[in-house]
Amino acid sequence: MIAPLAWVCPVFGLGPLGHPPGVSHYLVVGAILFVCGVVCMATKRNALGVLMGIELVLNGANVNFVAFASPWLQADGARSIGLDGQAIAVFVIVLAAAEAAVALAITLNFYNNHATVDVDRADDLKG
C-alpha cells in the first residue's frame, strides 16, 4: 500500500535515511493548495467552483500557519509549545465556515432569481 512508496517519496513516510518529512514539505503542500485555489477562482465561471477555490486558498494558508508554528522552527530556549499556528488555523476554519454559509445563501438566492449560477450573469442589480 503506502509502505513501498515510503522509499520512493519521503512525503509518505520515513525516507531512505529514516527522517520524517520536514517543515518544507508542508510548506510546499500549502503552496500547492494555495495556487490550485487561485487557479480555480480565476478559471471557473460557476459560483460553486469559485467558492471551492476560496476554500482551497484558505486551507493552503492553514497548512502554512500550522507548519510555521512547528517546533523545528522555534528558537533555542524558546518557551513556546507552538500552538499559535493551530489557534490561527482554527480561527480561519471558523471564519471559512461562516463565509461558506453566507456565500451559499447568496448563490441560492442568485439561482432562484436567474436560474443559473454562472458568475458572468451577476452583473445586473435588481432590487
Q: pLDDT of 116-126, one tens digit each?
A: 888 888 777 66
- Above 70 in pLDDT, residue 13? no
Selected from 3.40.1670.10, 1.10.3720.10, 1.20.120.790, 1.10.287.3510, the CATH number assigned to the domain covering 19-115 reads: 1.10.287.3510
| pLDDT given at position 68 | 82
Can you give the three-state secondary structure of the chain, one letter per residue?
CCHHHHCCCHHHCCCCCCCCCCHHHHHHHHHHHHHHHHHHHHHCCEHHHHHHHHHHHHHHHHHHHHHHCCHHHCCCCCCCCCCHHHHHHHHHHHHHHHHHHHHHHHHHHHHHHHCCCEHHHCCCCCC
- pLDDT bin (cut points 50, 70, 90) of residue 14 is low
User: How much is the pTM?
Assistant: 0.75
Domain boundaries, the chain: 19-115
- Above 90 in pLDDT, residue 53? yes
